[in-house]
Amino acid sequence: MPGPTLCLYGQGVARGYVIGRAVVMGATALEVAHYRIAAEDVAAESERLTNALQEASDELGELIDHLPEDAPREMAAMLNVHRLLMSDPLLSSQTLSLIEERHYNAEWALTTQGQILGEQFSAMEDEYLRERGADVRQVIERVLDVLHGSPAMLRLDDPPPGDEPLVVVAHDISPADMIRLRGGRFSAFVTDLGGATSHTAIVARSMGVPAIVAMGKARALLRDGDTVIVDGSAGALVVNPSDAVLAEYRARQDAYARERAELELLRNEPAVTLDGIDISLNANIELPEEAAVALAAGAKGIGLFRSEFLFMGRDELPGEEEQYRAYASVAKTMAGLPVTIRTLDLGADKTLDGDTTVATNPALGQRAIRYCLARPEMFGTQLRAILRASVHGNIRILLPMVAHLHEVRATRAALDAARRELDARGEPYAAHIELGAMVEVPAIAIAIEPFAQALDFFSIGTNDLIQYTLAIDRGDHDVADLYDPLHPAVLRLIANTINAAQRAGKSVAVCGEMAGDSRLTRLLLGMGLTEFSMHPQQLLDVKREVRGAHSNALRVKVATALNRAQPIDPDALQLP
């Protein structure tokens, strides 16, 4: 008998509508048995942990070797991150030390070390890196399964009877388990945890499967077999809906299917406004393999390649050769289209050599360009790799969190030093490579003119710009509702940056979430923006808005509203 009707809300991270039956997944509880072992049992307990780590790693290796041909391109790299974590000394060696020194049982030692690592990731300011704490948790749960005598992989050999679509409801879903669940009747994912940059979100978007994350208590509130509606656009989960609500959502499903079919017709059409303004629609990527996905989606370049993914989940820095191959791979795939590589963007709360520090406020500490300039050897290695890759395409360098002109001058000096080293080795590189800065600190947006003279281009990172302008951490649930991309101060900073860059003859893009939100496309066009960068899955929605917009008419409307300090309703920017 169905339960009562509920409507739960989370964060919609992959659009679409699914009506189906809930399959509620269990999760390995991290509250495990805590007991101390005898001294004579330490060796055996250490071996038990080592064997469990190896077995879990072997299963992941087997999955990587047999990935389906149509699996998302980034999946192998995500699974490799989990394998690397299993052998990372910060996890394996430190856990073994807890067994040997404190005589903890293996499960207790593993969850204790996992809590330490999880707290370090939670303190990181960058949302993408903060979400990587989920990788640690998922790896630990996988190893705990093996320690408990269960298979490390989630298995669903006997799905519920019937032919209805199935909706996976779980506390969290690892990339490996998403591969196990993909296809067939599993048509949507709902998780208690996660965010816009969690692996569940990334993989769901790549697979074109509706998904809602950050639901909080969905797994506890739902039962197997409940009829559910997943509204990935609104982030709404309707449980045991009435017949009227079911009919409404079936109509929405049909309309959405027609909309997607129409959007596909735009894939090879130019992004040009009604008044003839060419708009560049580029893609944000985290992995080299995603360049091909961006190209297939119709991107005209890579507007943001987050290079820190190459540095994560490992106990040693990637060398120059490894970085060169990654950057060169993207440049070759894009075949002359622009590729913007952001230099390493990590925070003050965790260094890459395994040493841990605790900054008073990591968001305002030694992160991003500050972090790189404080480590010239590491920074030089990355710059040499980028310069070497520049001979294979049109590569640009983007600096994160710039706030001072001396940071630009110091980077140019580091680039000159990297060129001299390459010259001494006889290594070729492009004669000219553009240097740009992220506009995500209000200081650079307010005093943009001197930066426009010192740099070749800008990219506005709206996510951090909003946070720093409004003093709001959107990861903090107590103030997340105050995170407002339409706040007049935020809009004025964006407009000021676009206008100043254009006066100086420098290109400017928006690469934050605002760029991929098609509801805000006309607003940004009205500010004069001509270059957007977003997740590849968002390109067609934004292109449709571009092709139906009259840019100059929108500029008049937006300028009038900004000058009068009027609130701007994007829905009120109706097309002429």
Active-site positions read 199, 511
Structure tokens at 149: 């005598």
Q: At what angle do helices 92-102 and 42-65 cross, to 10 degrees?
A: 160
Q: CB–CB of 191/200 below 8 Å?
A: yes
Q: How far apart are CA 139 and CA 12, in angstroms?
A: 25
The length of the chain, given as a count of residues: 576
What secondary structure letter does DSSP report for 343?
P
Q: CB–CB of 343/382 below 8 Å?
A: yes
| Cα→Cα distances 164→19, 157, 270, Å | 8, 17, 39
| Three-state helix/strand/coil letters over 43-91 | HHHHHHHHHHHHHHHHHHHHHHHCCCCCCCCCHHHHHHHHHHHHHCCCC
Torsion (CA) 426, 429, 430, 432 in degrees, nearest 10 = -90
Structure tokens at 135: 């990788």
Pairing state of beta strands 280-285 and 17-24? unpaired
- 488 by DSSP, 3-state: which? helix
DSSP string over 259-318: HHHHHHTTTTS--B-TT--B-EEEEEESSTTHHHHHHHTT-SSEEEEEGGGGGSS-SSPP
Q: How far apart are CA 303 and CA 285, in angstroms?
A: 8
Q: Which residues neighbour 402 within 8 Å (Cβ) at sequence distance 6 or greater? A: 369, 408, 437, 438, 441, 444, 451
Structure tokens at 445: 């947006």
- 566 by DSSP, 3-state: which? coil
Pairing state of beta strands 211-213 and 11-14? antiparallel
Pairing state of beta strands 17-24 and 166-170? parallel
Pairing state of beta strands 236-239 and 166-170? unpaired
For residue 315, the Cα-to-chain-centroid distance in whole angstroms is 22
- 105 by DSSP, 3-state: which? coil
Residue 362: in which H helix or E strand, if any?
Answer: none
For residue 38, the Cα-to-chain-centroid distance in whole angstroms is 45
